[in-house]
Amino acid sequence: MNWQELDLFNPTDEHLMLRQTVKEFTQQEVEPQAEKFDRDEKFNLPLFRKLGELGLLGITVGEDYGGSNMDPIAAVIAHEELSAADPGFCLAYLAHSMLCVNNLSVNGNEEQKQKYLPGLCSGELVGCMAMSEPHVGTDVLGMKTTAQKKGDHYVLNGRKMWITNGSLDEDKTPADCVLVYSVTGEANGRAQISTFFVDKNCDGYSVGQKIYGKTGMRASNTAELVFDNCKVSSQALIGKEGDSLIHMMRNLELERLTLAAMSLGIARRSIEIMNRYASEREAFGRPLSYFGQIQKYIGDSYAEYMAAKTYVYDVARKMKVHSGGQRLDSDGVKLVASTMGKNVADRAMQVLGGYGYVSEYIVERLWRDAKLLEIGGGTIEAHQKNITKDLAGQL
């Protein structure tokens, strides 16, 4: 299938060239290693660093800091293409490029950006973002990690859970840099959340447990991060105390857009696989694609995929990296696309029958990976709540 020539999804020559570049890299470098690293539950760090050579690790960052200075459509293209082969690897890419690098680029001061962004964009440094905790996820204001100011520094205490890129290897080497959300006080009866940029050289910053046995996304490392009297300079504070909710809102839109793009990659690959299989496999003397139920699986999947893809790229076209302005529809695209990707992967597995249930045909891995996108970066229930609230506010 060749859908990449449609102008809606490749509006400029630059976007088309980017898609072709990432697609070629994915086929030559990402696809061959995907099954092994998923099976071993390991993060392919050397391959990840190659994304820096392609300019993908700082895709939305200004050229002055080593980035590619591209737009949200470019970010969507990169995530869609990588996820068509290895969503787990792509999730590690998203955690670095969107949750950490773009976040710092948008919210950090000049000194912080000059110090860290070049290394993050090249792949010399690997970053992550730490928000969720062992007892709290969506309820951000319920977090327990604290940052207490003492003179010219802060002391962080707490634990963060489910952190993608939290650990880079089997020796529990922590990520080089992590954006940490912490409570710095209380204002108007609510927790005051602040953001700190912590690097691995800070005493008291370590990896707790590495998380194995995940249903999917196994090619991305997930870990608990521990901050035990972790001393950081006051220069590590991003913005001012209490700015974290603003930082989250600025970055969540692009995060959710690119998570939706990952679902597009999963769905597209699933459709390609089941379409080919249904055309080649026969039952009762006819190809599977002759039978109405199989036609329904393929037809519904293609229509739902194209509808979601159109929505995703339309929102990407309207979104600005530094100002957002698409909160309602960033929730909308992830709500629609995440469930669509899961359902399409499920249909592909059904079409392939027993072959769909084993790793040879890839769809079982895509199916496992797809479920996380209904949970991570905001659950589908959170999106439903946000959309309802925003629509009510328009009355």
Q: Known catalytic residues?
A: 255
Positive or negative torsion for Cα 93, 72, 372, 85: negative
- Taking CA atoms, 36 is separated from 52, 83, 90, 210, in Å, by 22, 16, 15, 19
Question: Which of the 8 DSSP states describes residue 26?
Answer: I
* DSSP letter, residue 30: I
| Under 8 Å between Cβ of 212 and 41 | yes
**Residue 317: partners with Cβ closer than 8 Å, 6 or more residues away:** 11, 72, 73
126 Cβ contact partners less than 8 Å away, ≥ 6 residues apart: 45, 48, 96, 120, 165, 168, 175, 176, 177
CA distance from start to end of the chain: 43
Please report the DSSP string for 87-121 in residue order: HHHHHHHHIIIIIIIIHHHHHS-HHHHHHHHHHHH
The closest of 144, 137, 134 to 224, measured between CA atoms, is 134
Burial class of 35 by CB neighbour count within 10 A (0 to 12, 13 to 18, 19+): middle
Picking from 106, 62, 113, the residue whose alpha carbon sits closest to that of residue 324 is 106
